[in-house]
Amino acid sequence: MYGGKRPGAGRKKGVQNKVNAALRQKVMADGILPLEFILSIMRDSKNPDEMRLEAAVKAAPFCHPRLQAIEHSGPEGDGIPQSIRVEFV
């Protein structure tokens, strides 16, 4: 069979390419990573609160995903019909 997608072909999900893997190994060998450094500033209670807050703000995007607003739509792209039914028994 020629051309097309073959099952099991290509790099597996989550595996870094050779350049990224080599760069990460070099950084790890040199010392701590930048995120680890920022987190150490944030966690050190001897630092002023302003410095710790700035470090927390800089580290947050790497630790927590950003939430995005999602618009729900019906099958034709319009809004989803909503109704409230109240029954007194």
User: Could you read off the pLDDT of 16-51 as tens digits, one per residue?
Assistant: 777 777 777 777 777 778 888 899 999 999 999 999
Dmax over Cα atoms in the chain, in whole Å? 72
First to last CA, the chain: 68
pTM of the predicted protein model = 0.48
**Secondary structure class of 14 (helix, strand, coil):** coil
User: Could you read off the pLDDT of 55-75 as tens digits, one per residue?
Assistant: 999 999 988 888 888 777 766
* 55 within 8 A of 38, measured Cβ to Cβ: yes
